[in-house]
Amino acid sequence: MKTSLIFISVLMFMVCFIFPLTVNYIAMGFRVSEEVRFFTVMFIILMVVCFTIWALIKVKK
């Protein structure tokens, strides 16, 4: 129970730290517009939030 919570929090930290860097790197490589970059980041954040909520529900049960 405790270990899964720690694992989830570490995973969240990794995702929140690595994803913006990755997105920025990819965006620089493809020379996409600011809007595309913004929506990509927003979509990733939304996915992370949804995954966190789902994980917390899974842990609670």
Q: Give the tens place of pLDDT for each residue, 4-59.
A: 777 777 777 777 777 777 777 776 766 667 777 777 778 878 888 888 888 888 87
CA distances from 34 to 30, 37, 51, 54 (A): 12, 5, 26, 30
Sign of the C-alpha dihedral computed for residues 7, 10, 11 and 12 taken in this order: positive
| pTM score above 0.85 | no
Query: Could you give the CA distance from residue 8 to residue 55 in angstroms, rounded to a whole number?
Result: 7
**Count of the separate structural domains present in the chain:** 1
The residue segments making up the domain with residue 50 are 2-60
Residue 25, token pair as written in the block? 């790197």
